[in-house]
Amino acid sequence: ETGVTQSPTHLIKTRGQQVTLRCSSQSGHNTVSWYQQALGQGPQFIFQYYREEENGRGNFPPRFSGLQFPNYSSELNVNALELDDSALYLCASTLGGVPTDTQYFGPGTRLTVL
């Protein structure tokens, strides 16, 4: 148990729909990162939020957006879903002091796009 929770656990959507995934970070952690993991591959960095501001973004289109709230919980929004968006979406929280601080991952949300 890392103290990072994600909801929902599983989600099924159809192409073109929009989805919101949620993450509650570990207590005291002010940095949240989101990753997409396709089947059989390593996680790919989507973006990161530090104290409610985006602090780095990977190679993902603008239809992937996020928010971080004052309590440091976070949301990942994906618009205009495509079949290739089917994946495990992971969030990870970090204390935020040093880049080499451990990232604590949640269990993920499995998104299926039909």
Partner 1 sequence: LAKTTQPISMDSYEGQEVNITCSHNNIATNDYITWYQQFPSQGPRFIIQGYKTKVTNEVASLFIPADRKSSTLSLPRVSLSDTAVYYCLVVRMDSSYKLIFGSGTRLLVRP
Q: Which residues of the shown chain bind partner 1 in the complex (CB under 8 A)?
A: 2, 4, 31, 33, 35, 41-45, 48, 50, 55-56, 58, 88, 90, 92, 94, 96, 98-108, 110
Q: How far is the CB of 91 from partner 1 (least distance, A)?
A: 8
**DSSP assignment of 45-79:** EEEEEETTEEEEE-S--TTEEEEE-TTS-EEEEE-
**Sole residue written with tokens 């997409």:** 36
Based on CB atoms, which residue is closest to partner 1, 70 or 97?
97
What Cα–Cα distance (Å) separates residue 87 from each residue in 40, 60, 69? 10, 14, 24
Based on CB atoms, which residue is closest to partner 1, 71 or 100?
100
**Sole residue written with tokens 């996020």:** 66
Q: How far is the CB of 93 from partner 1 (least distance, A)?
A: 10
Q: How far is the CB of 80 from partner 1 (least distance, A)?
A: 24
Based on CB atoms, which residue is closest to partner 1, 45 or 67?
45
Task: Determine phi and psi for 84, rounding to 5 degrees.
Answer: -70, -5
Based on CB atoms, which residue is closest to partner 1, 8 or 56?
56
